[in-house]
Amino acid sequence: MNGSRRLSPQEIADILRERIRVGELKAGDRLPTQAELAEEFGVERGTVRQALRALQEDGLLTNVSKGSPPRIALPPPTRDAPQPTMVGLAPRLTEAFAAPRVEVDVVCHTSETLMVALGEPLRLIHEGAIRPESIDVRILLPSRDIDLAFPVLVEGGEGDDSVHKRWLEMRNAQAQVLRHNLQALRSTLGISVRVTFRALPFTPPVKLYLLNGAEALIGYYVLTERQDEYESRTLNMYDALGSASLLFSFVQQAGQRDAAFVAESQKWFDALWETITTDLTLS
C-alpha cells in the first residue's frame, strides 16, 4: 500500500491514530496481530512494535502484552468540572476496572448508584474488552441499628419505623445485587473477586469513591422533601437523592493539592475500615 518506500513507525502510528479518530477502530476493539499489521504495511514487526508503543504512550491502547494484540483504550472521563453522580461515576469505574488489580473503596448511604454505574465495566469484562486479574471492593454503609439523619418523616412519626424499614429494604436489596454481580465474575470468568461490607455507626453526609488509590470522588448529599409510596401509604419525608449529587474529582497525578486529597482520603478510609469490625447484615 506504500509503493517502494517503507513507512516509518510514526507514519504507521498516524494511520492507526486516524482510524481510531474516525471510528473505524472503536474503544474496546482488538487490533490485528503484529504479523498482520506488518504484512498490511509492508514493514518488519519491529517497526510495528515501535508504532504500537507510540500509541500506547499516547494512551490510545490498552492490554498491550506479548500474549495477545492490544485493544483500543476507552476514552478518559472528563474531569474538568463536577458532574452528576450518574454521569461521572460509570466512566471512571470503567477506567479503574481496566487495571490488572482493581481496588475500590466506597462510603455511601445506599449502594444504588454504585450498583447501576458498575453495569458498564461489568459488561465490558464479560465481552472481553477488559479483563482485570483481581477485584477488591470495600463498602461502608450505615448500620441498621442507628437512628438515621435521613431519611426521616417531615412531621411527627414518633414510634413509626416505616421510613427506616423502607430504607433498610432498599439498602439490603441493592447491596445483594451488587455483590452477586461482582461475584459472578469469579464463577464465570475465574477472576479473583472479594466484596466486603461493614456497618457505619453514623449517617455519612457525603458519598466517597476511591479508585485504585489514584482518584477520589466526593459528592455531598443534598436533602429534599419528597413523597414515596410504601406499604400502601404515602411517606412524606426528608431524603437525599444520591444519584443527583455532584461528584468532585481529585486525581493523584493532577497536582499537589489533588494528590494530597487522594492520599488523605485513602488514609481516612483505611483507618475507619480498621476501626469498624462489624460486618454489614444484608437481611
Assign 3-class secondary structure to 206-231. Answer: EEEEEECCCEEEEEECCEEEEEEEEC
Range of the domain at 272: 83-279
The count of structural domains within the chain is 2
pLDDT band of residue 240 (cuts 50, 70, 90) is confident
* pLDDT over 70 at 157, yes or no: no
How many residues comprise the chain? Answer: 283
Does 3 reside within a domain? no
Q: Which of the listed residues 41, 72, 103 is the one where a domain comes to its end?
A: 72
User: Does residue 34 sit in the same domain as residue 120?
Assistant: no
Same domain for 169 and 54, yes or no, is: no
Residues 256 and 192 in one domain: yes
65 and 184 share one domain:
no
Say if residue 217 is in the same domain as residue 260: yes
Residues 129 and 252 placed together within one structural domain of the fold: yes
Instruction: Identify whether residues 68 and 13 lie together within a single domain.
Output: yes
Is 271 in the same domain as 149? yes
Over 80: is that where the pLDDT of 68 sits? no
**What band does 160 get if pLDDT is binned at 50, 70 and 90?**
confident
2 lies in a domain?
Answer: no
Return the number of other C-beta atoms located less than 10 Å from residue 169's C-beta. 11
What is the arithmetic mean of pLDDT over 117-125?
93
**Report field, pTM of the whole predicted structure over 0.85:** no
* Domain assignment of residue 4, yes or no: no
- The neighbour count for residue 75, using CB atoms within 10 Å, is 12
d(CA 112, CA 152): 19
Residue 78 lies in a domain: no
* Sheet with 246-251: strands ordered across: 83-84, 246-251, 215-220, 206-211, 101-107, 134-142, 192-200
